[in-house]
Amino acid sequence: MFFLMGVIIVSAAFSGCAPSNEEGDFSGAASKVYVAPGKYDEFYAFMSGGFNGQLTVYGLPSGRLFKIISVFSQNPETGYGYSEETKPMLMTSYGFVPWDDAHHPELSQTDGVPDGRWIFINANNTTRVARIDLSTFETAEIIEIPNSAGNHGSPFVTENTEYVIASTRFSVPVPNRDVPIDSYKENFKGTLSFIKVDPEKGNMEIAFQILVPGFDYDLAHAGKGPSHGWAFFTSYNSEQANTLLEINASQNDKDFIAAVNWKLAEKYLAEGKAKKINTEYYRNYFDEDKQKAFSEKRSSVYVLNPKDCPGMIYYLPTPKSPHGVDVDPTGEYIVAGGKLATVIPVHSFSKMLKAIENKEFDGEIDGIPILKYDAVIAGEVENPGLGPLHTEFDGKGYAYTSAFISSEIVKWKLGTWEVVDRIPTYYSIGHLMIPGGDSKKPWGKYVVALNKITKDRYLPTGPELCQSAQLIDISGDKMQLLLDFPTIGEPHYAQGIPAEILMKRNKKFYELEKNSHPDKTASEKETRVERKGNEIHVYMTATRTHFKPDNIEGVKVGDRVYFHITNLEQDWDIPHGFAVKGLNNSELLIMPGQTKTIEWVPQKEGIYPFYCTDFCSALHQEMQGYVRVSSKNSNVELSFN
């Protein structure tokens, strides 16, 4: 959340005054969220973890948490980012970065509708985009974005997931270099990135970037239907301040939404209009056959300059420090959340095209024509609540906007712009989510409010309180609050999709036969322990209800011991875990058919037990073994059983 201090104080005070427990009749609500034991939820919801760097999976309407998908942060629970197989996922041009701040999940789309293949999410801090495979619910790929800082306006998909788009919050020198900070206006630039997504495999590559003036680019959404081929990016700090932004970046009445004609950009790229800039970044991917992640280094990127590319980008003036930008299901309306504005401005795509044709410009900035506000505006929603941020759509002609300061969701009608309903949220709502609510075909049954502050809503847990989601029924004329449930980390954006779409694709285990991990142990007969200098490689198998080998001798203090463990099970829901005493690393959680490796450097002589950490059968407690560690110069022979 990027607000004026004053605004935050006002909002905190406001939420303090709001009623802590609203009256109201919840008797009907309980049955609407009750999912009987053994029954499935109707929707999956994916919530960003914010500063925990992960992505969480919930069911709706129950609000039950199913999984935390490890994305940008190491996770000792599974070994993600600790195991040798997954460490490469977190490689960047800054080295190994085991954490990030993840804000916006976005489902892949076909024909403008979420298709359930992948979900993307951004890393805000060390600028990256991840792709999660929704057959395994595991991170399949992470690509770093060069020439970017604060990858906040990211990663939003175009209508057929041709591109994932991303914008830079912080402008920085491009290419980055050592300059005085007060040379901001002259040296600092923003970039808008277009990441090409392979239609079959999903692999990401940065196709091109567009160099833009040094504003802060905040959020984005792609066009659809008639506006397919365009993408929209909000910006604030058009003042180009580099200090005390709370004052210095709130001077202008209007900032801008950048409208990019990416089809034209593709053409300019093909014509050789882009400049190749040398810069280092990483693409990391998980190879499911090898059951291992790999890192590839990239060394250049194509950058288009609007000055050389007429017609590629326009600015839509937008009051005032806009945050979200959301395109309605028809693709005609572009809604901005002007967080300091008193109205919600809605731009018209068709008016924009006409204004471009008639050259209704109000000057230009760095080769980017500024369109006249009156020539592009479709309407303004009056009385939209204080601090409007984000808008989702129900597919029935209504829009729902979150108002951070007045802690409410405001429902209004597209076309007439009249507010038809409002409901308080507890408290300080940021994003909101309707399943499919940023697509062409929303499943407009619920809206989820994603709230920053919970205060008195839950049992207190010391100074740190959970953040929260609220489920609201939008199937009738009046919104009805059904359920509060806590979230993991800070939820920014979220996505939802009917469960049946994903259930069809769900993978139950990895086929052992297809596992071509170089350190796989295909059967118990192949288990062994090998020494290579001071490295010990343990090729171990796990199956109910033992490890093989389970006694290992001849390891010496200071050896680098690699446990390569293959889970031989070929059955759903039978992972095995692995931990050894004193392991300065995480445990491993190994899914059926997988091979995983953990490194251990024993520091002291003695006997070290290891065991399975996941209660896998009645004889789980028997699933254990010992490693004998001897002194550096001992002559205990390497042996195993």
Q: Catalog residues that contact ligand RUQ under the rule CB under 6 A.
A: 1, 103-104, 152, 219, 323, 389-390, 430-431, 492-493
Closer to ligand RUQ at the Cβ: 153 or 592? 153
Angle, CA 554 vertex, CA 551 and CA 555 arms, to 5°: 95
Closer to ligand CUA at the Cβ: 40 or 615? 615
- Is the bond into 320 cis (omega within 30 degrees of 0)? yes
Residue 108, amino acid: S
What tokens does 305 get? 């300059």
Window 518 to 577, contacts with ligand CUA (CB under 6 A): 576
Closer to ligand CUA at the Cβ: 362 or 614? 614
Output the smallest distance, CB 459 to ligand CUA, in A. Answer: 33
Closer to ligand CUA at the Cβ: 217 or 563? 563
Residue 484, number of CB atoms within 10 A of its CB:
17
- The alpha carbon of residue 135 and the mean position of all alpha carbons in its chain are separated, in whole angstroms, by 17
Output the smallest distance, CB 389 to ligand RUQ, in A. Answer: 5
Q: Which does 576 bind (CB under 5 to 8 A by kind): ligand CUA, ligand RUQ, none?
A: ligand CUA
Q: Which does 96 bind (CB under 5 to 8 A by kind): ligand CUA, ligand RUQ, none?
A: none
One of 616, 625, 629, 640 touching ligand CUA (CB under 6 A): 616
What tokens does 215 get? 């504003």
With contacts defined by CB under 6 A, name the span among 192-200, 256-264, 301-309, 607-615 that binds ligand CUA: 607-615
Window 324 to 363, contacts with ligand CUA (CB under 6 A): none
Residue 331, number of CB atoms within 10 A of its CB:
20
Closer to ligand CUA at the Cβ: 34 or 615? 615
d(CA 260, CA 270): 17
Q: Which does 614 bind (CB under 5 to 8 A by kind): ligand RUQ, ligand CUA, none?
A: ligand CUA
Output the smallest distance, CB 513 to ligand RUQ, in A. Answer: 43
| Strand ranges of the sheet holding 55-60, from the earlier edge strand across to the other edge | 65-69, 55-60, 43-48, 494-498
Provide the terminal-to-terminal Cα distance of the chain, rounded to the nearest Å: 57
How many residues bind to ligand CUA according to rule CB under 6 A? 7
One of 267, 372, 620, 628 touching ligand CUA (CB under 6 A): 620
Residue 61, number of CB atoms within 10 A of its CB:
21
Closer to ligand CUA at the Cβ: 157 or 612? 612
Output the smallest distance, CB 624 to ligand CUA, in A. Answer: 9
Residue 230 phi/psi, 5-degree rounding, is -120, 155
Q: Which does 1 bind (CB under 5 to 8 A by kind): ligand RUQ, ligand CUA, none?
A: ligand RUQ
Closer to ligand CUA at the Cβ: 356 or 542? 542
d(CA 588, CA 599): 10
Please report whether residue 221 would count as binding ligand CUA according to CB under 6 A.
Answer: no
One of 308, 362, 421, 614 touching ligand CUA (CB under 6 A): 614
What tokens does 202 get? 């999903």
Output the smallest distance, CB 487 to ligand RUQ, in A. Answer: 13
Closer to ligand RUQ at the Cβ: 101 or 360? 101
Q: What is the DSSP letter of 517?
A: -
Alpha carbon dihedral 94, 97, 100, 105, in 10-degree steps, equals 90
With contacts defined by CB under 6 A, name the span among 25-33, 404-412, 501-509, 609-617 that binds ligand CUA: 609-617
| The total number of residues written for the chain in this structure | 641
Residue 500, number of CB atoms within 10 A of its CB:
12
Q: Which does 323 bind (CB under 5 to 8 A by kind): ligand RUQ, ligand CUA, none?
A: ligand RUQ
Q: Which does 453 bind (CB under 5 to 8 A by kind): ligand CUA, ligand RUQ, none?
A: none
Element (H, E) at 626: strand 624-630
d(CA 460, CA 480): 26
Look-up: residue for tokens 């572009």? 334
Closer to ligand RUQ at the Cβ: 109 or 391? 391
585 to each of 81, 110, 560, 603, how far by Cα in Å?
10, 41, 13, 13
Please report whether residue 612 would count as binding ligand CUA according to CB under 6 A.
Answer: yes
Residues 6+ apart with CB under 8 A from 461: none
Closer to ligand RUQ at the Cβ: 439 or 527? 439
Q: Which does 143 bind (CB under 5 to 8 A by kind): ligand CUA, ligand RUQ, none?
A: none
- The alpha carbon of residue 208 and the mean position of all alpha carbons in its chain are separated, in whole angstroms, by 21
Output the smallest distance, CB 2 to ligand RUQ, in A. Answer: 8
DSSP characters over 126-139: TTEEEEEETTTTEE
Residues of this chain that interact with ligand CUA (CB under 6 A) are 576, 612, 614-616, 620, 623
